[in-house]
Amino acid sequence: MSDCGGHTACACESHSGEPVICFKGVSFSYGHSLVVEDADFDIYKGESVCIVGPNGGGKSTLLKLMLGLLQPDVGTVHLLGDTPKRSRARVGYVPQHIDFDPLFPVSVLDVVLMGRLTRRSFGFCSRKDTERAMEALQQMGLAGKAQVSFAALSGGQRQAVLIARALVADAEVLLLDEPTAHVDVAAEERLMASLKALRKDLTLVTVSHDLAFVSRSVPKVVCVNRCVHVHPTTELTEARLRELYGFEVRMVQHDHEHLDSHGGHHHG
């Protein structure tokens, strides 16, 4: 019997139209280890949603299920009204990190241009693609680094390049896995500004450990610790966080809502 209580999500707002991302009774396990249990939630067009939860709780797994990189054991996942495999080319994805070879000599521009790639990309890329990639780099404040080796950048700059790569895909949905994991405060502020500018056009789904980032960035939170619960950020109470993380989490109210955590768990 599921200890998620069967119904794992709440409808936070009423929405019209088809959801952009739809999970229906999804369970997934790595071998015998159940990682996501009976997840049942929708994300609608233009929404900005953050996925939070402890390490190993299933946050990144949820993103990979959305992208069709993993197949659910039970249930169905729909992305943009179709299967993830058919629709994922319309999604911009920023991984938490990439296992790239630092001796692999690709320039920043080369990496961003990978966002323009399709199954039918043959020969050299077009001038339009290069212009689009330069625009995205400009947007991320990295236009001057276009010809620099990707390996020569700092962690935060690499993250910004991967976001630019996701942006040039002309995506309808942007999935970001830990976008502030390797960035300093200044870079995080720039990223926040860029995400705020993007929010007008895009559906944004962000995985984050950073509760401060969540509290001031998004109105809706998907809490994952094997079970999945969806709340408006304003309803993210100390009790709910204690239930999610398994230790005390103190909320501190500033000008904007801000969450502070104890018990060794990091925050912004």
Stretch that binds another protein, among 51-59, 122-130, 181-189, 203-211 (CB under 8 A): 122-130
Q: Does 118 bind another protein (CB under 8 A)?
A: yes
Bridge partners for 23 per DSSP: 41, 77
Nearer to another protein, 88 or 209 (CB): 88
CB contact at 8 A, 228 and 39 = yes
User: Per-residue DSSP letters for 85-114?
Assistant: HHHGGGEEEE-S-----TTS--BHHHHHHG
Least CB distance from residue 118 to another protein, whole Å? 5
Stretch that binds another protein, among 8-16, 37-45, 110-118, 231-239 (CB under 8 A): 110-118
Non-local (6+) Cβ contacts of 74 within 8 A are: 25, 26, 27, 38
Stretch that binds another protein, among 74-82, 118-126, 176-184, 191-199 (CB under 8 A): 118-126
Q: Is 246 left (phi over 0), alpha (psi -120 to 50) or beta?
A: left
Q: Does 74 bind another protein (CB under 8 A)?
A: no
Element of type H or E holding 127: helix 127-139
Element of type H or E holding 3: none
Please give the residues from 4 up to 63 whose contact with another protein meets the rule CB under 8 A: none
Nearer to another protein, 10 or 152 (CB): 152
Stretch that binds another protein, among 10-18, 20-28, 86-94, 214-222 (CB under 8 A): 86-94
**What Rg, from alpha-carbon coordinates, does the chain have?**
19
Site string for another protein, 124-153 (x = CB under 8 A): xx---------------------xxx----
Stretch that binds another protein, among 36-44, 121-129, 231-239, 241-249 (CB under 8 A): 121-129
Pick from 27, 96, 107, 139: which binds another protein (CB under 8 A)?
A: 107
CB contact at 8 A, 63 and 177 = yes
Least CB distance from residue 119 to another protein, whole Å? 4
What is the dihedral sign for C-alpha 10, 11, 17, 19?
A: negative
Q: Does 101 bind another protein (CB under 8 A)?
A: yes
Pick from 34, 69, 153, 192: which binds another protein (CB under 8 A)?
A: 69
Outline where DSSP puts E strands in the chain.
21-30, 33-43, 48-52, 74-79, 91-94, 173-177, 203-207, 220-225, 227-232, 249-253, 257-261
Site string for another protein, 191-220 (x = CB under 8 A): ------------------------------
Q: Does 96 bind another protein (CB under 8 A)?
A: no
Separation between Cα atoms, residue 215 and residue 257, nearest integer Å: 6
Non-local (6+) Cβ contacts of 146 within 8 A are: 107, 108, 109, 133, 134, 137
DSSP state of 125: P
Interface contacts to another protein, rule CB under 8 A: 67, 69, 88-89, 91, 93, 95, 98, 100-101, 103-107, 110-111, 113-115, 117-119, 121-125, 147-149, 165, 169
